[in-house]
Amino acid sequence: MSTVTREQTVVDSVEKRLYIGGEWRDARGGGTLEVEDPATAEPLCEVADGTPEDALDALAAAHETQREWAAVPPIERGEILRRAFEKIMQRQEELALLMTLEMGKPLAESRAEIAYAAEFFRWFSGEATRIEGYYKVAGNGAGRVLTMKQPVGPSILITPWNFPMAMGTRKIGPAVAAGCTMVVKPAKQTPLSMLALAQILEESGLPGGVLNVITSSSSGAVMEPLIKDPRARKLSFTGSTEVGRVLIAQAADQVLKVSMELGGNAPFLIFEDADLDAAVEGALLAKMRNIGEACTSANRFHVAGAVADEFAEKLARRMGELKVGRGTEEDVKVGPLIDDSQRSKVDELVRDALSKGATAVVGGERLDGAGYFYKPTVLAGVPDDARVLREEIFGPVAPITAFESEEEAVARANDTEYGLVAYVYTRDFKRAMRVIEGLETGMVGLNQGMVSNAGAPFGGVKQSGIGREGGHEGVEEFLETKYVAVNMD
Ligand code: NAP
């Protein structure tokens, strides 16, 4: 079978319609939305372009199914997730190809995301049976305190394009485990992975109405009526801080329980005593995973003055070796950015830094030709007023600045409104603990360039978000605690 045929077969195998109340159906009015391959800027296919009325139908289905679904035994809810985990892994290759086609990341990274995404279902399949309250003697000895956990109710889940499947399973997994029904809206650039996931959950026995999927080109108009509808009880969003702020305001209308996984500006600290080669490899992973289009992406490298030049040179050598190209080619390590506006934003940040005195040790420009490619770039001597140190880059650009003391390193790391993740490289354990205690972030990678793990609480502080996904904490986001005061007189 030729490559073209295989790509087409994989795209053709996915449902392109809305999934509402267990039925696949066209958008009202029959509108469609074009999905593009960012490596070629050519159209891949069209999917249903959902309207606000479609979205309200989806919420109605979720609302009608909520009571029945909450009564399904936890072990059965867990088994559905476990079956879906198995099916995702059986189809890892085709799902990876689908993701690369709509999002651009290299195939090896898509395979890794599929495995990571599936892991959330395996993890939450177990968590479904570990939802528990407690019973205790009241402080005055007279009564008893009893707590029970109950599903929060119909949930609205909104996911971004950069991890089209993992950001979905990280929300759907705990919602299923907790006994919540849901309406999911993937990003318009990457609806196919979510539609494929819905098909897998359907085949795994998830009852109709529990999961409803709306694809749409007009996210604001379609989601606002849902967020303000009294039938919705929860909003879980992953995306930019800018949109997150708007959604928090909308959620205030019905006082929804909210979870927000927002933007980041991750500092990567390298101390003089660090294993520099290990730091370079960690930096490469933290910077280049997902072509730099990750909320956890290292956005700023703060390096001890004594080793800053050596680090810049070593990182530039490794970045310069990475092959850039279409993600479907096996040896490609850097795919295209998601679209032209993202590439222009990355280029603008690089131009700004260069104009203020930074040096491009490698890269520093876009690649000519079709697709939205940008050269892996290392910028040294980046001045404090450069925008690249303040704004989320979301591209393959590594800005480096030097520090002279531990205090300065921590102060620089914290000098941002974001607080998602930080990376620390040092061999001095006491220093590591001092620095980590001082960092204003929800997560820290200590001598490692990646923190993602289905069994760990992922999330940020400050303007990087509210709540945690994954770990034991993930399911709590979809539960309410009911306290019962028991009279023992
Ligand atoms: P985005 O523009 O905020 O969009 C995220 C999602 O929200 C998409 O589905 C988008 O739909 C939808 N959306 C946009 N405007 C909306 C509105 N007014 N009402 C309802 N929904 C709306 O973010 P993005 O560019 O897709 O993703 C990149 C951002 O996500 C980065 O800032 C990154 O740091 C963040 N992120 C955070 C985490 C984390 O866990 N903290 C993980 C991954 C990504 P359409 O695109 O279809 O309009």
Name the residues annotated as catalytic: 261, 295
CB of 220 closer than 6 angstroms to any ligand 1 atom: yes
Contacts of 355 (CB under 8 A, 6+ apart): none
Q: Does residue 189 fall inside a structural domain?
A: yes
The CATH code of the domain that includes 73 is 3.40.605.10
- Edge-to-edge strand list for the sheet holding 377-380: 359-362, 377-380, 397-403, 298-304, 266-270, 421-425, 443-446
Numbers of helices and strands, H then E, in the chain = 15, 20
Residue-wise pLDDT for 115-173, tens only, equals 999 999 999 999 999 999 999 999 999 999 999 999 999 999 999 999 999 999 999 99
Residue-wise pLDDT for 314-348, tens only, equals 999 999 999 999 999 979 999 999 999 999 999 99
CB of 183 closer than 6 angstroms to any ligand 1 atom: no
The CATH code of the domain that includes 411 is 3.40.309.10
Domain count, the chain: 2
Q: Does residue 446 fall inside a structural domain?
A: yes
Most informative mutation of 227, 237, 240, 450 for ligand 1 (most atoms within 8 A of CB): 240
Does 302 lie in the same domain as 225? no
Does 360 lie in the same domain as 212? no
Are the C-beta atoms of residues 273 and 432 closer than 8 Å to each other? no
CB of 246 closer than 6 angstroms to any ligand 1 atom: yes
Signed CA dihedral, 210, 214, 220, 221: sign only = negative
pLDDT, residue 448, reads 98
Please report, rounded to a whole number, the percentage of residues in the chain having pLDDT higher than 90.
98
pLDDT, residue 4, reads 66
Does 468 lie in the same domain as 443? no
Q: Does residue 348 fall inside a structural domain?
A: yes
- E-assigned strand segments in 18-117: 18-20, 23-25, 32-37, 42-48
> 381: helix, coil or strand?
coil
Are the C-beta atoms of residues 157 and 175 closer than 8 Å to each other? yes
Does 273 lie in the same domain as 257? no
158 CA from centroid of ligand 1 (Å):
8
- Using the atom order of ligand 1, give the atom closest to the CA of residue 460: 41
Count CB-CB contacts under 10 A for residue 345: 16
Does 110 lie in the same domain as 74? yes
CB of 166 closer than 6 angstroms to any ligand 1 atom: no
Residue-wise pLDDT for 169-193, tens only, equals 999 999 999 999 999 999 999 999 9
Q: Does residue 172 fall inside a structural domain?
A: yes
Residue-wise pLDDT for 58-86, tens only, equals 999 999 999 999 999 999 999 999 999 99
CB of 198 closer than 6 angstroms to any ligand 1 atom: no
Residue 2 has pLDDT above 60, yes or no: no
pLDDT, residue 3, reads 58
Q: What is the CA radius of gyration of the chain?
A: 23
CB of 47 closer than 6 angstroms to any ligand 1 atom: no
Residue-wise pLDDT for 423-466, tens only, equals 999 999 999 999 999 999 999 999 999 999 999 999 999 999 99
Q: Does residue 458 fall inside a structural domain?
A: no
Does 438 lie in the same domain as 302? yes
Does 384 lie in the same domain as 240? no
- Using the atom order of ligand 1, give the atom closest to the CA of residue 469: 40
Does 288 lie in the same domain as 257? no
Q: Does residue 285 fall inside a structural domain?
A: yes
Q: Is the pTM of this model over 0.95?
A: yes
Residue-wise pLDDT for 226-275, tens only, equals 999 999 999 999 999 999 999 999 999 999 999 999 999 999 999 999 99
In DSSP terms, 288 is beta-bridged to: none
pLDDT, residue 461, reads 98
Q: Does residue 459 fall inside a structural domain?
A: no
Are the C-beta atoms of residues 464 and 244 closer than 8 Å to each other? no
243 CA from centroid of ligand 1 (Å):
7
**Which candidate, 252, 222, 227, 225, places its Cα nearest to that of 237?**
227
Residue-wise pLDDT for 273-300, tens only, equals 999 999 999 999 999 999 999 999 999 9
| Residue range of the domain that includes 472 | 3-263+464-483
> 164: helix, coil or strand?
coil
pLDDT, residue 330, reads 79
Does 302 lie in the same domain as 445? yes
**Which candidate, 458, 463, 449, 419, places its Cα nearest to that of 170?**
458
Are the C-beta atoms of residues 48 and 88 closer than 8 Å to each other? no
Q: Does residue 177 fall inside a structural domain?
A: yes
